[in-house]
Amino acid sequence: MDALIIVESPAKARTIARYLGQGHAVKASVGHVKDLPPKRLGVDVEKDFEPEYVVIRGKKKVLDEIRSAAKKADRVLLAPDPDREGEAIAWHIAEELSKVNEHVYRVLFNEITKTAIQAAIAEPQELDRNKYDSQQARRILDRLVGYEISPLLWRKVRQGLSAGRVQSVAVRLVVDREDEIRAFEPVEFWVIQALLEAGEPPVLTTRLHAIDGDKARVPDGEAAARIVADLEAGEYRVARLEKKARSRRPAPPFTTSKMQQEAARKLRFTAKRTMRVAQKLYEGLDVGEEDPVGLITYMRTDSTRVSETALTAVREHIAEKYGADYLPEKPVRYAAKKGAQDAHEAIRPTSLERTPEALKRMLGRDELKLYTLIWKRFVASQMKPARYDQTTIDVSCGRYTLRATGSVPTFPGFTAVYTEGKDENGEDEDKEKKLPRVAEGDALKLEQVLSEQKFTQPPPRFLESSLVKELEEKGIGRPSTYAAILSTIQDKGYVEKRENRFHPTELGELVTELLVENFPLILDAKFTAGMEDRLDRIQEGEVDWLDMIREFYGPFHASVENAREHMRNVKREAEPTDVICDQCGKNMVLRWGKAGRFLACSGYPECRNTREVERGENGEVIARPPETTDEVCDKCGAPMTIKRGRFGRFLACTAYPECRNTRPVASKHPCPVQGCEGMLVERRTRRGRTFWGCSRYPDCDFATWETPVEEACPQCQGRYLLTRKSRGKQLKRCPACGWGDAPPKRRAKKKKDEDKQGTD
């Protein structure tokens, strides 16, 4: 055998194997094969931070197969992804093969096409020690932070919590934004408009712009009423007319973070979903050609560079499809962002001939959506700017100046293909707005004066796209890690998404407060960004990785020792309240438990009464009224009440602690599986997502993400329908006969073990 080629994923292995002739074997490592041990630090701080790498559970068989194949090969070509993580995989495999094959090399390619693979194999390289050291330094840093801070949180707050060098800073961004929103005091202002006739349509809508030459400020209704009275009695004349030709350049081709942001804006994809789909497009799909083919270049990159071959191809496509008017004289070059790693190209299609239209029937829905976005963005990036005429009309009325602006496109340019989305619903300055034909000095007739009270708005909570943007701008993490960061902070229960925006949980705010107080440097965004910069410099060979770790660990470990002594012990805290225990009459205290804050009787252990808690409008502590039910405990006969736990609502016996019986909250809706006598009960996954499942689980495994509602089916008169939202619409279907506009959305089988019995 001439060569053994080792890649990360089976999908990539299958694609590459079909490109190569006999004499080549391709095997997949299925990700990392070695890592620090999962249940201990694995870094010997006494021996200059010597890492202990162990074979990952389940990977021994994979390594044995690779080792066996390497013995028969003339040479081994390590071809994991061309980034730091890929380099670490390559080094760990090389170490395992050192005794069975001396001819081990590294091959790099930016796209999985036949030409790129053959070119890479023809020019094998040495492994990059600097890139490996950079990944190793990051891994050790993260392990030191996580393994030294997390046990403190277990001891002081609750078991199972975690802290991370990057994730904790990301949570702080969400918490700080929430603090800004709470502290924000809205300021009243008034918007005044005058609708004017110019002799021909349309009506000219002007807005108060200046008073006596200074910027107009209308602070209250009294001032607004005076101005409205003046404007209603005044005469109007065009004071200034200005036309300017403007242009707007296209956005660069996608980097990883920009792709995540735009997929969130336009496709409603999470960063995790975007990267999962992009991985498929990169590794290779069957699109009706002789072999599966990679449809896009490598999707983890912060470079906007494009190869000369790709530039030539896209320019030919633009000239042929849109004409010479849309093609710039020279290829468009985009400046690299400060600190960007330029090892890979921007994300682009591997071939302009594979248009989204040509692949429409061959790709899955998500794959087609993301590929279309990438394809259009890349083509648009090499087109001429859009041009438009912007007109500004200033109208005078005594001491008041009113202004109207409008834009009229004169040449679509790149917008014929693609326009970048926006995070917030602000007014688009380039939005087309028609204005009547007027000239300076023209008199105008007043039709109506409008005044509207408004208030300044607090900064918005983060969307998926705006949080990724914030992480990128502050230099926190790297684009390849954003998807994992956003998933982790939700999985850990530190933030949650409501109406597509990130809200900190009570737990997230508490942990952030403790960490900022005890580890201000670790929680500082600038410090974290500086660490990322040093990791980049390690990769460039400018900084020694051990020097960086040594410099970091001394002050960090000292702060850990200090926190062991001085960090608040939330578990032991009992904050007095004015709430009176309804069982013994003593005051209740606020404590912290597994499900968050709760009220407990100060007479514990004689009185074990607890109540759920909520905050009033002014932040005061209020005992949440118990949710009564008609349910009776099947063990002692006492009434059951609804309580909330880590996995959502559940029924609990009111005779607690004498009777500790609990059971899921059952709906009034029978399980739709024919012959089953169970009822649908509300449950939650360990990640906090609500679903409905049969009360007879595991005997009946029916489960759905859809919510049952009391509404008769118009077709079979069934007692209820299942509903869910999709793109803002409420979709309904009948679980009995299948009527409706919402196809079944069952929980995936592979999640059954994770989610089963997800109630208290």
What are the pLDDT digits (tens) for 171-193?
A: 999 999 999 999 999 999 999 99
- Phi–psi pair at 25, nearest 5 degrees: -120, 145
Are residues 350 and 365 located together in one domain of the fold? yes
Give every CB contact of residue 488 below 8 A, 6+ residues apart in sequence. 164, 167
What is the three-state SS of 600-664? EECCCCCCCCEEEEEECCCCCEEECCCEEEEEECCCCCCEEEEEEECCEEEEEECCCCCCCCEEE
pLDDT class of 316 with cuts at 50, 70, 90: very high
pLDDT given at position 229: 97
Tokens of residue 724, six digits: 């869910």
pLDDT class of 708 with cuts at 50, 70, 90: confident
pLDDT class of 751 with cuts at 50, 70, 90: very low
Of 19, 282, 298, 400, which is the active-site residue? 298
Percent of the chain with pLDDT over 70: 93
State how beta strands 43-44 and 75-78 pair.
unpaired
Are residues 390 and 377 located together in one domain of the fold? no
Residue 256, CA distances (Å) to 210, 299, 338, 670, 686 in order? 44, 6, 15, 46, 29
Residue 136, CA distances (Å) to 205, 220, 344, 535 in order? 61, 60, 21, 10
Tokens of residue 472, six digits: 């990128």
Q: Structural domain of residue 106, as residue ranges?
A: 3-127
- The one-letter code for the residue type at 247 is S
pLDDT class of 513 with cuts at 50, 70, 90: very high
The answer to whether residue 350 scores a pLDDT higher than 70 is yes
Averaged pLDDT for residues 463-478: 94
Q: Which string of DSSP letters, residue by residue, matches 452-491?
A: EEEE--PPPPPBHHHHHHHHHHHT-S-GGGHHHHHHHHHH
Among the three residues 407, 423, 455, which one is the final residue of a domain in this structure? 455
Which of 66, 110, 68, 114 lies closest to 90, judged by CA?
66
pLDDT class of 647 with cuts at 50, 70, 90: low
Are residues 414 and 312 located together in one domain of the fold? no
- What is the Cα–Cα distance from 602 to 600, expressed in whole angstroms? 6
- The one-letter code for the residue type at 22 is Q
How many Cβ atoms from other residues are within 10 Å of residue 538's Cβ? 24
Are residues 473 and 509 located together in one domain of the fold? yes
Q: Which is higher by pLDDT, 691 or 347?
A: 347
The answer to whether residue 718 scores a pLDDT higher than 90 is no
Are residues 440 and 369 located together in one domain of the fold? no
Tokens of residue 230, six digits: 């003046």
- What is the Cα–Cα distance from 139 to 164, expressed in whole angstroms? 11
Averaged pLDDT for residues 602-619: 81
pLDDT class of 749 with cuts at 50, 70, 90: very low
pLDDT given at position 619: 65
Are residues 301 and 361 located together in one domain of the fold? yes
Are residues 507 and 487 located together in one domain of the fold? yes
- What is the Cα–Cα distance from 738 to 744, expressed in whole angstroms? 8
Are residues 442 and 468 located together in one domain of the fold? no
**Cβ pair 145, 164 in contact under 8 A:** yes
- What is the Cα–Cα distance from 146 to 163, expressed in whole angstroms? 5
Give every CB contact of residue 687 below 8 A, 6+ residues apart in sequence. 490, 491
Are residues 471 and 431 located together in one domain of the fold? no
Exposure of 609 in the CB half-sphere (CA atoms within 13 A): 18
Q: What's the CATH number where 114 sits?
A: 3.40.50.140
What is the three-state SS of 55-100? ECCCCHHHHHHHHHHHHHCCEEEECCCCCHHHHHHHHHHHHHHCCC
Are residues 374 and 409 located together in one domain of the fold? no
Paired residues of 730 in beta bridges = 725
How many Cβ atoms from other residues are within 10 Å of residue 426's Cβ? 7
pLDDT given at position 340: 55
Which of 524, 497, 548 lies closest to 144, judged by CA?
548
Q: Three-state DSSP class for 229?
A: helix
- Residue 200: inside a domain: yes
Are residues 319 and 430 located together in one domain of the fold? no
Averaged pLDDT for residues 273-296: 91
Which of 367, 371, 407, 363 lies closest to 386, judged by CA?
407
Are residues 532 and 485 located together in one domain of the fold? yes
pLDDT given at position 610: 85
- Residue 32: inside a domain: yes
pLDDT class of 424 with cuts at 50, 70, 90: low
Which of 167, 142, 145 lies closest to 563, judged by CA?
145
What are 362-377's pLDDT values in tens digits? 999 999 999 999 999 9
**Cβ pair 635, 659 in contact under 8 A:** yes
Q: What is the mean pLDDT of the chain?
A: 89
Averaged pLDDT for residues 356-363: 94
Averaged pLDDT for residues 511-523: 96
Q: Which ranges of 330-410 does DSSP label H, i.e. alpha helix?
A: 365-381
pLDDT class of 8 with cuts at 50, 70, 90: very high
Averaged pLDDT for residues 66-88: 94
- What is the Cα–Cα distance from 258 to 514, expressed in whole angstroms? 33
- Residue 398: inside a domain: yes
- Residue 533: inside a domain: yes
- Residue 171: inside a domain: yes
- What is the Cα–Cα distance from 611 to 314, expressed in whole angstroms? 65
> Is 697 assigned a catalytic role?
no
Among the three residues 337, 353, 381, which one is the final residue of a domain in this structure? 381
pLDDT class of 744 with cuts at 50, 70, 90: low
Q: What's the CATH number where 304 sits?
A: 1.10.290.10
**Cβ pair 204, 433 in contact under 8 A:** no
The answer to whether residue 725 scores a pLDDT higher than 80 is no
How far apart are the two ends of the chain, measured CA to CA in Å? Answer: 58
Cis bond before residue 657 (omega within 30° of 0): yes
Which of 49, 77, 260, 276 lies closest to 142, judged by CA?
49
Paired residues of 7 in beta bridges = 28
pLDDT given at position 582: 85
**Cβ pair 692, 708 in contact under 8 A:** yes
How remote is the C-alpha of 590 from its chain's centroid? 34
Residue count of the chain: 760
Question: What one-character DSSP code corresponds to residue 377?
Answer: H
Q: What's the CATH number where 230 sits?
A: 2.70.20.10
Tokens of residue 417, six digits: 């293909």
Among the three residues 440, 455, 470, which one is the final residue of a domain in this structure? 455
Q: Three-state DSSP class for 166?
A: coil
pLDDT given at position 22: 81
How many Cβ atoms from other residues are within 10 Å of residue 201's Cβ? 10
- What is the Cα–Cα distance from 75 to 25, expressed in whole angstroms? 11
The answer to whether residue 426 scores a pLDDT higher than 60 is no
Averaged pLDDT for residues 46-51: 96
Q: Kind and range of the H or E element at 116? A: helix 114-122
- What is the Cα–Cα distance from 396 to 414, expressed in whole angstroms? 38
- Phi–psi pair at 690, nearest 5 degrees: -80, 140
Averaged pLDDT for residues 270-285: 94
- Per the structure, how many domains does the chain have? 4
- Residue 711: inside a domain: no
pLDDT class of 747 with cuts at 50, 70, 90: very low
Whole-structure pTM value = 0.81
The answer to whether residue 411 scores a pLDDT higher than 80 is yes
- What is the Cα–Cα distance from 472 to 476, expressed in whole angstroms? 6
- What is the Cα–Cα distance from 246 to 388, expressed in whole angstroms? 5
The answer to whether residue 37 scores a pLDDT higher than 50 is yes
- Phi–psi pair at 102, nearest 5 degrees: -85, -15
The answer to whether residue 742 scores a pLDDT higher than 90 is no
Q: What's the CATH number where 522 sits?
A: 1.10.460.10
Q: What is the CA radius of gyration of the chain?
A: 32
What are 121-173's pLDDT values in tens digits? 999 999 999 999 999 999 999 999 999 999 999 999 988 899 999 999 999 99
- Residue 163: inside a domain: yes
- What is the Cα–Cα distance from 696 to 651, expressed in whole angstroms? 16
pLDDT class of 200 with cuts at 50, 70, 90: confident
- Residue 645: inside a domain: no
What are 581-596's pLDDT values in tens digits? 988 999 999 998 877 7
The answer to whether residue 677 scores a pLDDT higher than 90 is no
pLDDT class of 107 with cuts at 50, 70, 90: very high
pLDDT class of 343 with cuts at 50, 70, 90: low
**Cβ pair 477, 166 in contact under 8 A:** yes
How remote is the C-alpha of 312 from its chain's centroid? 34
Q: Which is higher by pLDDT, 717 or 449?
A: 449
What are 525-583's pLDDT values in tens digits? 999 999 999 999 999 999 999 999 999 999 999 999 999 999 999 988 888 998 999 88
